[in-house]
Amino acid sequence: MVLLKNLVVIGQGAPNQLRDGRQSRCVCAYSLDDKVLIRLYPFPVYMLRKWDVFDAEVEKNPIDHRENTWKIKNSKEDWKKIYRWVTIKGEYPKDKQEDLIKSIGFSTLSEIRDNKKSFGIILPVIKDFKLEQQNKSTIKQMTLGDVEDLDVPYTIINQKDYKYKPYVVYECVGDCKCKDKTHCQSITEWGCFEFMRKNAGKEINLKDNLQLFNEEYNKYILVGNIYKAPQTYVIIDILRFKKKKK
Ligand SMILES: [Zn+2]
């Protein structure tokens, strides 16, 4: 068992269903003590919001070999009692969040991939936004277990059951060695899927909601690699901060 202290949630993927029916998501946290980005996976859909500061008792996942990847102690047995192992200590101060991201530092996609990093933050030049239709409509499927016990007033929808899958096209600022300098990656940010759930029929407005082309916002792209193909990265979160007025 390992106790990780002073972690800050900086990104979280939308829920997906594990083979055994549990609804899970991927949490990306920054360790204020060790100055590294870590992955907590799987993690239940309740508990932990972006910018929460927390401690967690974790263990290695014997089948997931991605860098700095942990699962919560006894996560399978204690799936509905994960609070036994996670202590929320407060929220990272709003006015210091952008500085925290800058202090982590920026990389290019090629650097992140070539160093087999689990995560990295990219300063992007955003080129385009796309919605790819993956289902005829969003499928609200009742799932086993978790949800009925929770005080959640709606059905949690898995990423793959949404009508659309969002993509962002960007280039890295810096010396990116990728063959194709223009990256088109799917975005798994939970907030994006929540937006599509709440704005069915107007999903395209997600582009504006993300402030992708709004000059008043600084944008940083948090990417993470995927379990089945660790060389492949997706966008976990687009961190966006309104520019401070001078
Ligand atoms: Zn690049």
Within 142-202, where are the H helices?
146-149, 190-198
Full-model pTM: 0.92
pLDDT band at 114 (very low <50, low <70, confident <90, very high): very high
d(CA 118, CA 234): 11
> Mind listing the pLDDT tens digit for each residue in 147-184?
444 445 456 788 898 999 999 999 999 999 999 999 99
> Mind listing the pLDDT tens digit for each residue in 49-108?
999 999 999 999 888 999 999 999 999 999 989 999 999 999 999 999 999 999 999 999
How far is ligand 1, taken at its centre, from the CA of residue 77, in Å?
Answer: 41
28 and 144 in a single domain? The answer is no
Query: Residue 211 burial by CB count (10 A; 0-12/13-18/19+): exposed, middle or buried?
Result: middle
How far is ligand 1, taken at its centre, from the CA of residue 179, in Å?
Answer: 9
Last residue of a domain, one of 79, 99, 119: 99
How far is ligand 1, taken at its centre, from the CA of residue 177, in Å?
Answer: 7
28 and 45 in a single domain? The answer is yes
CATH, residue 28 = 2.40.50
Around ion ligand 1, residues with a beta carbon closer than 5 Å are 108-109, 172, 176, 178
| 104 Cα distance to chain centroid | 16
Structure tokens at 196: 């599509």
Residue reference for tokens 């990423």: 159
> Mind listing the pLDDT tens digit for each residue in 205-233?
999 999 999 999 999 999 999 998 999 99
Domain count across the chain: 2
Structure tokens at 153: 């007033």
> Which amino acid type is present at position 56?
A
23 and 50 in a single domain? The answer is yes
